Structure 1
Amino acid sequence: MTVQTQNFAVQVSDQGSAVSFGPGDHMVVTLENVTVAPEPGLAVLRVTEAAGRSKSGGLRRRDTVVVVVKTAPKDIPAPHGFLADDVVVDAGTKVTLNWEGSDDFTYEVLFPGGRKPVPRVEHPGSHGPYSLVLDAADAPRRDTTYTLVAGFGAQRHTLTTSVQVRNPVLGTLTAVDGVTRFGLQVYPGGTGTSTHGVVYADSVRAKDAPYGQGGGWINLHDEGMTVYLSKNGSNGLGSVTARDFNR
Structure 2
Amino acid sequence: MTALTYTILTDPTSLEASVDGRLPSTGTVYLMVTNTRQTVPWLRIEVKVPVGDGAGHLTRDISTIKPRGEYTDTQSGPQAATQPVIVQPQGTDVFQVTTQSGRLEGFAPGDYMLLTLENVAVAPTAGVAVLTVTETTKTSRGWQTSHAAVPVVKAAPKEIPAPRDFRPDKAMLDAGENLTLSWDGSNDFSYEIRFPGGHAVIAPGTRTWAPADAPKRATTYILVATDPTTQKQHFLTTTVQVRYPVLETLTATSGIDTPWVQGTANKGRVTFTGTGAEIFSNSGGQGTVHADRADLNGVNAEWVQGRSADDGWISFPKEGLNVRKGAGQAWGTVFADKVDVNDVITNQVHGSGEGKGYIQFLDQDKGVRIFGGVSAGWIRGLNDDEAWIRFNEKGIWVLKNQNGKRESANVSCATVNDRHA
TM-score, normalised to structure 2, is 0.25
* Larger Rg belongs to: 2
Higher relative contact order (CA 8 A, sep 6+): 1
